[in-house]
Amino acid sequence: MNLTLTGVGVSRGIAIGHAYLLAPEQPEINEYVLPKHLVNEEVARFKAALAAAKQQLKSIRNQIPRGTPASIAAFIETHVLMLEDAAFADAPVKLIKTQQCNAEWALQQQRDMLVSVFEAMNDPYLRTRKDDVDHVVNRIQRILANQPAHPLELSDHRLKGAIIVAGDLSPADLLLIEHCGATGFITEGGGPTSHTAILARGLGIPAIVGVAHALRQISHDTLIAIDGQRGEVLTEPDPLSLQRLRAKRREEKRHVVTLARLSKKPSITEDGRVITLRANVELPEDIHTIKRAGAAGIGLYRTEFLFMNRKDSPSEEEQFLAYTQAAKAMKGMPVTIRTLDLGADKTLHNEHWHISSRPPSPLGLRAIRLCLKEPALFRPQLRAILRASVYGQLRMMIPMLSSLQELFQVLEVVEDVKRELKAQGLKYNENIPIGGMIEVPSAALAAEAFARHLDFLSIGTNDLIQYTLATDRIDDAVNYLYDPLHPAVLRLIEMTIKAGHKAGIPVAMCGEMAGDPRYTRLLLGMGLTEFSTPPAMLLEVKSIIQSSRLARLTKMTRKILASYHSGEIAVLIDKINAAEKRGRG
Ligand code: PEP
Ligand code: MG
C-alpha cells in the first residue's frame, strides 16, 4: 500500500530499499519465587547472562570497521562499562537473594528504578540516557530467555541494502546495521539527541525517529524510501516518487563533494562583501572539524561541557588548559569563550552549585545570573579566560544579559579579577574584547545601550525566540509556536544589528538560525555580516553566501520586515531563495 508516514528526521540523506522489520524482541518477564536452595544457582545464571552480554558487546566492538571515529566505539564501551557497574553487576544479585526471586524479575525491578531516575532529570540529553539502560537490559533478558542473538548480530544477508524498521535501536545495533550494509533506519521511538541519532549523523546513515506505529504500518520486505531531511517515509513509492527521490539523492551526493571544495574558498558574496563565517564549539573534538571546514575562528565556545557529568567543578587550571588549547589550535583567529551558561535545561549534576530550591527554569537563576551570584564559580573561569588570552585571540562573551546593571556588575568583576592577576604577576590581555549575547528581548530592545559598553554583540536566536514568544525551547507541546520568522523576532534581530552598526561594533549571530541555510539570505539582507554556525553547517552557509547578491537581498528583505504575518514572511523567503538560485543559474 502506498503510504506517507512522517517522523523526526535526525540524519539527512535519501535511502531506498526493502523494509527489514525488527519486531521488539523483549521476552515476556514473569515473576516467581524460588525455593531457598535454588537462590545461588539463580545468581550464577544471572552472572553467566551478564558475562555473555559482555562477550556479545566485545565481539561487536571487534567488528567496528577501521577508520570509524573513536567516539563511535565509545558508545559500545559505555554499554560494556554499564554491565560492569554495580547497578547491573550487584544490585540485581542482591534482589535475587533478598526477595528469592528469579533473575529476570530482579533485573526488571532494577531497570524500572534506573529508568525512573533518568526520567526525573531535567537535562533532555541525560533523560534520553534511559535508552542505554533499556538496550543493556534487553540484551541480558534475551540471553536469560535463551533467545537467539538479535538478527542484526547474525549478519542476515537480507539486511544488505535494506532499511531497518524498529521500535528502537541501540548504538550497538546501528553499528551492526552499518556492518551488514543496511542503508537507513526508521524507529518508532527515540529523539534527536539520543546516542543512536548522534551516531547516525556521524556515520552519515539516513534516519528518521518517532514514526508512530511504523512496525504496524510497514510490511516486511516492501519497498520503502526515506528522506532523512524531511522526516518522510514512503511505502511502495510510485515510479514518479522514486525518480524524484533518486534525483534528490544524486543531487545531495554531488552537493557534499562540491561543498568540501569550498573549505579553502573565501566567504564572500557575489557582489564582493566579505562575510565572517565562524563556528560553534560544543565539544573539544569539534575544533578539528571546524578547522577542516575553514572556519574563520570560533564564534561561540560553549564552556558548559567542561562542567557537566562530573561531581566537582573544573579547576581554574583545567579551564585555563582547555581555553589555551582552543586559542592555540585556532592560530590567531578569534576564539569566543562564552562564560558559563548553566541553569534551565543545562543543570549541573554537582550538588555544590545546586543553590536554588526551585526546579530549574529558563526564567530562573541561569547563565550570568548564576555566575554573578556565585563568585566562586565565576571568578576561576574569568581568571582562566584572562590567563589564556595571551595565547591567541581570545574574546569573552557573556550570556543572557537582561539589563545594563547586570553588564556593569560583570565588567566590575572582570576588572577586579584583572587587578588580582596583575598583583600576582600573572599575564593576561588587558584589552581582551568583551561581548554580550543578545538573547533576551530586553537586551535586544536596549541593544544600543549595550553596544556602547561592549566590544561586540552576538545574537542567540535559540533563546531570543524562546523568550520573545514565551515558548520553552525544550517543551515539545509548544514547539509549534517556536518560530524564527515571527515578525517580533525579526524586528529584535534587526534592532540588534542596527545598534551594533550605529556603535561601530561587530554583530554576529550564533544561534541555530545562523546555521540554517533557509535563513542565510534573509539575514544577509538584514545586514548581518558575521555568522557562527554548527560545524556541519558551515560550508552549506558559505555556499549560499557565495551565490548571493547583497544589494538585491537588502531590497527584498525590506518587504519581509514590513510584514506582520509569519506565513507571508515564509513565502517571501522562499521567493528570495528561489530568485537568488535562478540568478546564479
Ligand atoms: C542561543 O541561545 O541562541 C545560543 C547560541 O545559546 P544556547 O543555545 O547555548 O543557549
Ligand atoms: Mg542561549
Q: Report the interhelical angle of 91-99 vs 103-119 (nearest 10°).
A: 130
Q: Which atom of ligand 1 is nearest to the CA of 280?
A: 5
* Contact residues for 351 (Cβ-Cβ < 8 A; gap 6+): 311
H/E run at residue 203: helix 195-203
Q: For residues 39 and 28, what is the distance between their CA atoms, to the nearest angstrom?
A: 21
Q: For residues 9 and 416, what is the distance between their CA atoms, to the nearest angstrom?
A: 48
Contact 207, 194 (CB under 8 A): no
Instruction: Give catalytic status of residue 371 as yes or no.
Output: no
In single-letter form, the type of residue at position 205 comes to I
Highest mean pLDDT among 29-33, 157-161, 368-372: 368-372
178 and 128 housed in the same domain: no
Residue at 385 is within a domain: yes
Of 104, 128, 144, the residue at which a domain comes to its end is 144
Contact 335, 393 (CB under 8 A): yes
**Which pLDDT does position 507 carry in this prediction?**
98
Instruction: Give catalytic status of residue 510 as yes or no.
Output: yes
Q: Whose CA is nearest to atom 7 of ligand 1?
A: 462
326 and 401 housed in the same domain: yes
Instruction: Tell me if 510 CB under 6 Å of ligand 1.
Output: yes
pLDDT in tens, 109-152: 999 999 888 877 766 666 667 778 888 898 898 889 887 666 66
Is residue 578 classed exposed, middle or buried when 0-12, 13-18 and 19+ CB atoms within 10 A define those classes? exposed
At residue 447, φ and ψ (nearest 5 deg) are -55, -35
Distance of CA 311 to the CA centre of its chain: 23
291 and 341 housed in the same domain: yes
**Which pLDDT does position 548 carry in this prediction?**
95
Least Cα distance to 399 among 351, 332, 467 occurs for: 467
* Contact residues for 90 (Cβ-Cβ < 8 A; gap 6+): none
Contact 216, 19 (CB under 8 A): no
Instruction: Tell me if 511 CB under 6 Å of ligand 1.
Output: yes
* Domain CATH code at residue 443: 3.20.20.60
DSSP 525-548: HTT--EEEE-GGGHHHHHHHHHT-
Question: What is the Å distance from ligand 2's center to 536 Cα?
Answer: 19
75 and 133 housed in the same domain: yes
Is residue 547 classed exposed, middle or buried when 0-12, 13-18 and 19+ CB atoms within 10 A define those classes? middle
315 and 443 housed in the same domain: yes
* Contact residues for 167 (Cβ-Cβ < 8 A; gap 6+): 22, 23, 24, 187, 188, 189, 215
Q: Which atom of ligand 1 is nearest to the CA of 513?
A: 3
140 and 182 housed in the same domain: no
Residue at 267 is within a domain: no
Residue at 384 is within a domain: yes
Give the Å distances, CA to CA, from 235 to 138, 161, 164, 168, 223: 29, 16, 13, 19, 6
* Domain CATH code at residue 177: 3.50.30.10
**Which pLDDT does position 65 carry in this prediction?**
62
309 has pLDDT over 60: no
Q: Which of these is catalytic: 79, 135, 150, 195? A: 195
* Contact residues for 147 (Cβ-Cβ < 8 A; gap 6+): 25, 27
Instruction: Tell me if 461 CB under 6 Å of ligand 1.
Output: yes
* Domain CATH code at residue 66: 1.10.274.10
137 and 154 housed in the same domain: no
Q: Which atom of ligand 1 is nearest to the CA of 300?
A: 5
pLDDT in tens, 427-450: 999 999 999 999 999 999 999 999
344 has pLDDT over 80: no
Question: What is the Å distance from ligand 1's center to 515 Cα?
Answer: 12
Residue at 251 is within a domain: no
Q: Which of these is catalytic: 101, 180, 371, 510? A: 510
Question: What is the Å distance from ligand 1's center to 581 Cα?
Answer: 30
What three-state secondary structure class fits 290?
Answer: helix
381 and 512 housed in the same domain: yes
Residue at 572 is within a domain: no
pLDDT in tens, 155-214: 667 889 999 999 888 777 787 788 788 999 999 887 665 667 767 876 779 999 889 899
What three-state secondary structure class fits 4?
Answer: strand
Structure pTM?
Answer: 0.69
Containing domain of residue 472, as a range?
Answer: 275-548
585 has pLDDT over 50: no
Residue at 229 is within a domain: yes
Question: What is the Å distance from ligand 2's center to 134 Cα?
Answer: 32
H/E run at residue 225: strand 223-227
67 and 130 housed in the same domain: yes
Q: Poorest-confidence range of 44-48, 387-391, 418-422, 472-476?
A: 472-476
> In residues, how long is the chain?
585
pLDDT in tens, 451-489: 999 999 999 998 999 999 998 876 656 777 888 999 999
pLDDT in tens, 234-279: 999 999 999 999 999 999 888 888 888 999 999 999 999 999 999 9
Least Cα distance to 513 among 462, 478, 476, 547 occurs for: 462
Of 107, 129, 144, the residue at which a domain comes to its end is 144
**Which pLDDT does position 128 carry in this prediction?**
64
Instruction: Tell me if 190 CB under 6 Å of ligand 1.
Output: no
Give the Å distances, CA to CA, from 573 to 51, 521, 541: 57, 8, 16
356 and 405 housed in the same domain: yes
Q: Whose CA is nearest to atom 8 of ligand 1?
A: 462
505 and 522 housed in the same domain: yes
Question: What is the Å distance from ligand 1's center to 481 Cα?
Answer: 18
581 has pLDDT over 70: no
Residue at 308 is within a domain: yes
Least Cα distance to 297 among 516, 533, 461 occurs for: 533
196 and 320 housed in the same domain: no
Q: Report the interhelical angle of 195-203 vs 171-180 (nearest 10°).
A: 30
Q: Tell me the three cell numbers of residue 472.
A: 520553552
For ion ligand 2, residues whose CB falls within 5 Å: 439, 460, 463
Residue at 304 is within a domain: yes
Contact 201, 232 (CB under 8 A): no
Instruction: Tell me if 460 CB under 6 Å of ligand 1.
Output: yes
Please name the residue ranges forming H helices in 446-564. 447-453, 461-468, 487-503, 520-525, 538-546, 550-561
How many domains are contained in the chain? 3
Of 126, 144, 162, the residue at which a domain comes to its end is 144
Q: For the chain, how are helix, strand and coil distributed in percent, rounded to 5? A: 55, 15, 35
